[in-house]
Amino acid sequence: SGIAIRAIAKSLKRIGRGMKRVEEGDLDYKVEPDSNDEVGDLAIYFNRMSAEIKRSRQIMENWNKELEKTVAERTRDLQTLYNMSKAMGSTLYVEELLNKSLNYIPKAGGSESVAILLADAEGDLKVRAFRNFPGDLALKRDEGIIGTSISTEQIVKTADISEGSDKEKASLKPFNIKTLLL
């Protein structure tokens, strides 16, 4: 029985050293089972536990990276909105307000092209301020993707301008605009 006790104690010490290594962060450390009894099973369970801890830790690290990325994006968005709000509140002149908007809308929308359309007295939509966009574009309400978006006051995103009216397609083609967010 003394030999058996020493063998079990030796195996348990190896598992104990393995636990210490895992506690110190070495999640790749493995304890080789040296028997087919309960102590050998304990070594196998230890290795599985260590692998599961490593897997869980990797998942948490990935979540943290994604969370940090999302927080950084939201912080940039909030800063842009704050700057935009501050700039918008600094004037009551429509033309100046529209031109200031051109500095912030592309950042907020992630686009190089932007246009601000306003309705005239007849209700037709005309471009009043723009960047990398056809300044002469004029539309009727409910005409094409742009007019429908404005008249329904709905956010519309289209990945393919071919869904637009002939007038929209012809106007946007020279600017290589294929996707719209309205």
Say how far apart CA 124 and CA 157 lie, in whole Å: 21
Strand, helix or coil at 127? strand
List the one residue out of 114, 145, 149, 111 whose CA is nearest residue 129. Answer: 114
Residue 108 tokens read as: 């907020």
Q: What are phi and psi of 176, to 5 degrees?
A: 55, 35
pLDDT > 90 in the chain, percent: 10
Mean pLDDT estimate for the chain: 81
**Tokens encoding 123:** 């209700």
DSSP, collapsed to helix, strand or coil, labels residue 35 as coil
- The confidence score (pLDDT) of residue 107 equals 65
pLDDT tens by residue, 36-52: 888 888 888 888 989 99
Cα–Cα–Cα angle for 12, 17, 22, rounded to 5 degrees:
120
The residue type of 155 is I
Q: Which two tokens stand for residue 107?
A: 């950042």
Place of tokens 């999302």: 70
For 43, other C-beta atoms within 10 Å of its C-beta total 20
If you search the block for the tokens 């106007």, which residue do you land on? Answer: 171
Given this model, what pLDDT does residue 110 score? 67
Q: What is the pLDDT of residues 109-165, one digit of tens each?
A: 667 777 787 777 877 777 778 777 776 776 677 777 777 787 787 887 777 777 777
Copy the structure tokens of residue 94.
């429509």
